[in-house]
Amino acid sequence: MVLTLYKMDASPPVRAVYMTIEALKIPNVDYRDLNLLADEHLTEEFLKINPQHTIPTLTDGDFNIWDSHTIITYLANKYGKDNSLYPTDPVKRARVDVMLHFDSGTLYPALRFNDEPIFFGTATSFTPEGVAKIKAAYDFTESFLNGVQWLAGDEPTLADISCVATISSLNEMIPIDAKEYPNITAWLARCSKLDYYQKGNTPGLQEFGVLLKQFLARKF
């Protein structure tokens, strides 16, 4: 059965799914672009698949699923040849799940608070409140990485994949100070060397950065 992924490359949650697909070496994925900036996610056809009209959205046969965290755990459960990305041990899995919820509850809301007024409104700068949310997200992440190489264990997991897609995008907004955040800086460098990061995150991250600069530079 061919998987269908509705996506926009610049989207951090989409890039988390890309990286998971690359890490799991899932073949024959049908990629379908949806330009949110042109409201292509609001068509009647797409709303039948995902009434919440968000990306990424995955179709596996007659099963439709959305939210990147749910998608990547589903893919790991179904297609993983081992449990390294999403451990089956209850304690190890809980550590991953904590970080996935940290991404959905703290990291991504900080990003969305800042980029939504820019991409879907008329803002051309970040607010002090928005910057504070990003700094708080960095502070938490820095503490989580004290004395460890990866967010949820001794090797990369879905926790790192999900969080790095968001944090690398936040870094395009408010660059991470290596002196203030040495743990994040080192972790980002480790992540950037992963093959699936280079294939699944780097191209879309570059696109995100270009779009962000273009929208911030608008004149009204």
Q: Which residues are catalytic?
A: 11
Structure token pair of residue 211 = 């779009």
Are the CB atoms for 160 and 107 separated by under 8 Å? no
Single-letter code of the amino acid located at 41: H
Residue 97's SS3 state is helix
Q: What is the CB-side half-sphere exposure of residue 63 using CA atoms within 13 A? A: 9
Are the CB atoms for 215 and 124 separated by under 8 Å? yes
Peptide bond before 56: cis, by omega within 30 degrees of 0? Answer: yes
| Number of Cβ atoms within 10 Å of the Cβ of 152 | 24
Task: Kindly write down the DSSP assignment for every residue of 147-214, as one continuous string.
Answer: T-SSSSSSS--HHHHHHHHHHHHHHHHSPPPTTT-HHHHHHHHHHHTSHHHHHHTHHHHHHHHHHHHH
